[in-house]
């Protein structure tokens, strides 16, 4: 990404630092892409295990090790946490810090947030004073591979096998695939803590008032769009300055649902002709038809994503494609009775290879805690 790009034009997808591979996997799998890493020392010796592939193990904290305190958190210690303040905000991290202090009353959780991870933290790593825990996300995230090769990150294997306060181990509570993005050469250096769902979002109240059902196919979308047009409503809002790619994601998701995993693999590998696959062409043609029919809100080319989303939640458009961070991102502009709801990516036809998925999903996510409580309800509720 251009280092001079205006941070105000960064969408949550930009801020998640989504690579081509990760972006396409998000489109097909709906997995989160936000990394939360525990830091080793600021040095680059790779730890005591002699490995050439990264940092050392999670260090004990100097206190007594027990079943309730598996890493020996010292009674009067301070944990230094730096969080990326993106689409999900930072309240969940503050709540996690509060929970940590409840478990260890004499300890302190120093939780700060920023949108400038690399500019703020790189000098600290170089100076040997990195935070204990940091969220390596955003357009200005740090180079994870470089940190690992320098021995600056801890191997989190012991962390996920630690006992959870909810019973079992932390790994027992994780969703399938969560560990894959943070695993390098067989070792875990980053732990995803958000499970992002990409969907077509809408007001359940508006749909109920109009007798509309969540669209299962693109034909359903076009039927609703025509009815909405009769009410002088656009079907879609869009932010052309920085978020036209939200519709790129929608097109690819429809294409993958229609054609199956082979379509996803060809796109992921950027194989020759990947964008010439029939289902991909059909998906972009479907969106093009909606544009030609006037179902997109006028003026989108000149606005950014948050402005387009505000137009949507204030009643100028019916649906909007986005990740599940959108509820938090638009919290201040969304009417109380809006009932923001997500519909699964519509199928291009009734014969889609990947079949039907549940039609609605409320925006929800699970969050981390330095106190080994990744599914603590109070913490996770502050993300949504």
- Of the candidate ranges 36-50, 183-197, 277-291, 312-326, the one whose mean pLDDT is the lowest: 36-50
The pLDDT of residue 31 is: 25
Kindly report, residue by residue over 337-359, the tens digit of the pLDDT: 999 999 999 999 988 887 544 44
Asked if 31-196+365-381 and 199-361 have one fold, the answer is: yes
Average of per-residue pLDDT values in the chain: 80
d(CA 379, CA 194): 12
The runs of H, that is alpha helices, within the chain are 12-15, 20-29, 91-103, 117-126, 144-149, 157-160, 204-210, 218-229, 245-259, 261-268, 278-292, 305-311, 326-329, 377-381
The answer to whether the CB of 252 falls within 8 A of the CB of 267 is: yes
Kindly report, residue by residue over 247-258, the tens digit of the pLDDT: 999 999 999 999
Identify the band that residue 47 occupies on the pLDDT scale cut at 50, 70 and 90: very low
Beta strand extents in 153-239 (DSSP E only): 183-184, 187-188, 191-192, 199-203, 234-236
d(CA 241, CA 237): 13
d(CA 12, CA 115): 11
d(CA 26, CA 8): 23
Kindly report, residue by residue over 126-145, the tens digit of the pLDDT: 999 999 999 998 778 999 99
Identify the band that residue 53 occupies on the pLDDT scale cut at 50, 70 and 90: very low
Kindly tell me if the per-residue pLDDT of 65 is higher than 50: yes
Q: Does domain 31-196+365-381 have CATH number 1.10.3470?
A: no
The pLDDT of residue 52 is: 45
Record the pTM. Answer: 0.66
Kindly tell me if the per-residue pLDDT of 196 is higher than 90: no
Kindly tell me if the per-residue pLDDT of 32 is higher than 60: no
The answer to whether the CB of 250 falls within 8 A of the CB of 312 is: no
Q: Does domain 199-361 have CATH number 3.40.190.10?
A: yes
d(CA 371, CA 92): 13
Kindly tell me if the per-residue pLDDT of 368 is higher than 80: no
Kindly tell me if the per-residue pLDDT of 371 is higher than 50: no
The answer to whether the CB of 322 falls within 8 A of the CB of 182 is: no
The pLDDT of residue 246 is: 93
Residue percentage of the chain with pLDDT more than 70: 76
Mean pLDDT across the stretch 134-161? 90
The pLDDT of residue 60 is: 59
The pLDDT of residue 4 is: 46
The answer to whether the CB of 48 falls within 8 A of the CB of 56 is: yes
Kindly report, residue by residue over 273-283, the tens digit of the pLDDT: 999 999 999 99
Kindly tell me if the per-residue pLDDT of 189 is higher than 60: yes
Backbone φ and ψ of 325, nearest 5°: -70, -15
Domain boundaries, the chain: 31-196+365-381, 199-361
d(CA 198, CA 249): 9
The pLDDT of residue 22 is: 32
Kindly tell me if the per-residue pLDDT of 92 is higher than 60: yes
């Amino acid at each position: 990404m251009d280092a001079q790009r205006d941070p105000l034009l960064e969408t949550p997808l930009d801020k998640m630092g989504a690579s081509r591979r990760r972006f396409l996997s998000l489109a097909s799998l709906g997995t989160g892409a936000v990394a939360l890493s525990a830091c080793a020392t600021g040095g680059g010796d790779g730890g005591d295990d002699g490995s050439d592939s990264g940092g050392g193990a999670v260090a004990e904290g100097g206190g007594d090790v027990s079943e309730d305190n598996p890493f020996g958190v010292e009674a009067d210690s301070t944990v230094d946490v730096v969080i990326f303040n993106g689409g999900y905000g930072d309240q969940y991290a503050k709540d996690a810090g509060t929970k940590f202090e409840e478990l260890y009353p004499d300890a302190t959780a120093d939780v700060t947030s920023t949108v400038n991870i690399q500019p703020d933290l790189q000098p600290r790593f170089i100076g040997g004073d990195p935070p204990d825990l940091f969220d390596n996300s955003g357009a200005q995230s740090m180079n994870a591979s470089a940190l690992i090769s320098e021995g600056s990150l801890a191997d989190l294997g012991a962390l996920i096998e630690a006992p959870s306060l909810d019973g079992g181990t932390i790994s027992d509570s994780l969703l399938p695939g969560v560990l894959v993005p943070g695993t390098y050469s067989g070792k875990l250096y980053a732990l995803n803590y958000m499970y992002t769902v990409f969907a077509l979002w809408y007001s359940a109240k508006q749909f109920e008032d109009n007798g509309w059902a969540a669209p299962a196919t693109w034909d359903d979308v076009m039927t609703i769009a025509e009815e909405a047009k009769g009410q002088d409503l656009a079907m879609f809002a869009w932010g052309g300055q920085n978020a036209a790619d939200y519709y790129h994601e929608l097109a690819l998701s429809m294409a993958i649902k229609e054609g199956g995993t082979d379509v996803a693999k060809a796109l992921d590998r950027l194989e020759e002709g990947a964008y010439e696959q029939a289902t991909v062409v059909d998906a972009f043609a479907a969106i093009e038809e909606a544009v030609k029919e006037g179902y997109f809100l006028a003026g989108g080319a000149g606005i950014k994503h948050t402005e387009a989303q505000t137009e949507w939640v204030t009643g100028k458009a019916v649906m909007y494609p986005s990740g599940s961070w959108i509820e938090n991102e638009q919290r201040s502009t969304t009417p109380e009775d809006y009932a923001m709801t997500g519909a699964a990516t519509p199928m291009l036809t009734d014969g889609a290879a990947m079949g039907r998925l549940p039609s609605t999903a409320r925006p929800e996510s699970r969050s981390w805690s330095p106190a080994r409580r990744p599914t603590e309800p109070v913490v996770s509720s502050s993300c949504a």
